[in-house]
Amino acid sequence: MAEHYELFGHAILAHRQMSFEQQIRDVLVEEIQSGRWKQGEKLPEIIDLARESGFSITVMTGAFDALQHDGYVDRRGSRGNFVKSVVPGKRALGKVGILLRESQKDISAVAWYQHILLKAAEARNYTTEIAVIPDRSDPRQALVPGNIFNKRVKGVVSLTPFDAFHPFSETQEYLPYVFLCPPYEFCVPRVSVDVEFAYYELTSRMIEAGHRRIAFSYESNALDRRQAEMHLAGYRRAMAERRLPVNEDLIADSYNVNNDELVGVMNYVKNIMKMNDAVRPTALVCGSLDRAAVIADIAPVCHLFIPQELSIASIGTAALPGHFEKLMTGMLPDFDKLTKACFDVLEEYSEGGGFSKTGIMVSMNYIPGHTLMALDGSPFGEPISLQSMHDRYGIDSLSRAVHY
C-alpha cells in the first residue's frame, strides 16, 4: 500500500507516476469546481495548507504555480491567491462525477485514473466531482441524481465495478454512467485496456525478433490473479499460433518468486541461466513491470547481460536500472483513448438515451525499449529514450506512465 497524505479528504500518494505537486493541483481544482471557493474568493494561505497536510512549502507552492499557469488562480502578491476561473477560458458544458470506494483511495492505479479523467474533463470543458463511498454501501445509489453527487452532475465514471443492470425501477431516473475498470470485471458499459492482447503482441514481437525459446514469468504478487491469468493467456495464444513449446516448469517456478525477496529472484534467474543451451530461454515475458525491473536490477549480480543473453519485456515500461536514458521494452495504454472512450459513452447516452455498446477494449501501444534484441544479436527496431516518449506522445498521454 502506497504511503499517502490527505488534503481536504483526498488521498495524496507517494506515486511513481505523479508528483505531489500534480496531485495537490488536481485536488485543488476538484475543490474549486465543487464550489468550496467561488470565483473571486481567496484560497487558504500556502503556508497553512502545507502545515495542515504535511507537505513542504516548496511542494505546495509548486502546486499553486500550476494552478496559476492553468488559469485557475490569480496571484495578487502579498494579498494571496484568488480563484480566477472554474473552467479557465471556457464555458463549462457540465459536471461529471468520478466514483470510487474507500478502499481504493490508496491504490496507485486508481489515483492515476483519477488524474487522467480530470485532465480529460478539463480538455472537454467539463468540471468534475469525486465521490468516495464506504466499501459496504450500495454504489448504485450514486447513480440517483442528487443522491451522492451534486445535482449538477450529468454523468458518472465509476472506477469501482458493480452490477448496474436494471439498477432501479422503470420509473426511477438515473444518471448516465460508464465503468473504467479492468477487463475481467463484469460491468456494463465498460472501458478497459486489452491486457491479454498486449501480452499476445509482446510475445509475437519476440518471435518476430527470432526468439523461439520464450519463457513466461508469472506475477505472483498481482493484486488480482484474474489479470495475471490474462497476461499468461496472451502469451500462450501467441506461442500456440506459432506452434512453439511452452516451458511449463519455468512457469511453475515463477509462481514462487516474490519480487521483494531479492535472494529468491537471484536464485530464479541463476537457475534459468544454468539450463542446458538447447533448452535455456533466450527471451522472457514478464507478468508485470515490477518483475521485469527487479530482474534487470539484479542481472549484473548474476553475471547476466540483458538483452545480449536474455531479452525481457513486460506490460508497462520504465527507465532501465542504472541507465536513466534507456527504457524497458513494453506496452502502455493510450490514456487519451481510454478517457475519450469514457466521455464518448456518457455523451452518447445523454444524446440518445441509451448505450450502443456493452464495452470498449482499448489496445496498448508497443514501446520499443532497450531490453529486447534480435536473436542474431542485432538491434530489434529502434529503441526510444524517455525524452523521446515525451516528444512522441505528449506530456499528458503515454509519457506520464513511464516511471521516472
Q: Which cell numbers in the block locate residue 106?
A: 490508496
Distance of CA 223 to the CA centre of its chain: 14
Which pLDDT does position 297 carry in this prediction?
A: 92
Exposed e or buried b for every residue in 173-207, given b needs 16+ CB within 10 A?
Answer: ebbbbbbbbbbebebebbbbbbbbbbbbbbbbbbb
According to CATH, the topology of domain 195-334+365-401 is: Rossmann fold (3.40.50)
- Rg over alpha carbons for the chain, rounded to the nearest Å, is 23
Distance of CA 10 to the CA centre of its chain: 18
Distance of alpha carbon 194 from alpha carbon 182, whole angstroms = 9
Which pLDDT does position 403 carry in this prediction?
A: 32
Domain extents in the chain? 4-175, 195-334+365-401
CA atoms within 13 A of residue 211's CA, in its CB half-sphere: 32
Distance of alpha carbon 282 from alpha carbon 311, whole angstroms = 6
Q: End-to-end distance of the chain based on CA atoms, in angstroms?
A: 19
Distance of alpha carbon 345 from alpha carbon 358, whole angstroms = 10
Q: Which cell numbers in the block locate residue 299?
A: 542481472
Q: What is the dihedral of CA 384, 390, 393, 399, to 10 degrees?
A: 90
Distance of alpha carbon 93 from alpha carbon 110, whole angstroms = 25
pLDDT tens series, the chain, 404 aa: 446 788 888 888 877 667 889 889 989 998 888 889 988 999 999 999 999 889 999 999 999 999 998 888 988 888 899 998 887 866 556 889 999 999 988 787 788 888 889 888 888 888 889 999 999 999 988 998 989 998 889 899 999 998 876 544 455 578 889 999 888 888 888 999 999 999 999 999 999 999 999 999 999 877 688 999 999 999 999 999 999 999 999 999 999 999 999 999 999 999 999 999 999 999 999 999 999 999 999 999 999 999 999 999 999 887 777 776 788 899 988 888 889 899 888 888 877 666 667 889 998 989 898 999 999 988 887 776 655 655 554 434 443 333 32
Which pLDDT does position 384 carry in this prediction?
A: 65
Share of the chain above pLDDT 70, in %: 88
Distance of alpha carbon 170 from alpha carbon 144, whole angstroms = 13
Distance of alpha carbon 239 from alpha carbon 302, whole angstroms = 28
According to CATH, the topology of domain 4-175 is: Arc Repressor Mutant, subunit A (1.10.10)
Which pLDDT does position 398 carry in this prediction?
A: 40
The SS3 of residue 256 is coil
Position 115: which residue type? H
How many other C-beta atoms are found inside a 10 Å radius of the C-beta of residue 351? 9
The SS3 of residue 289 is helix
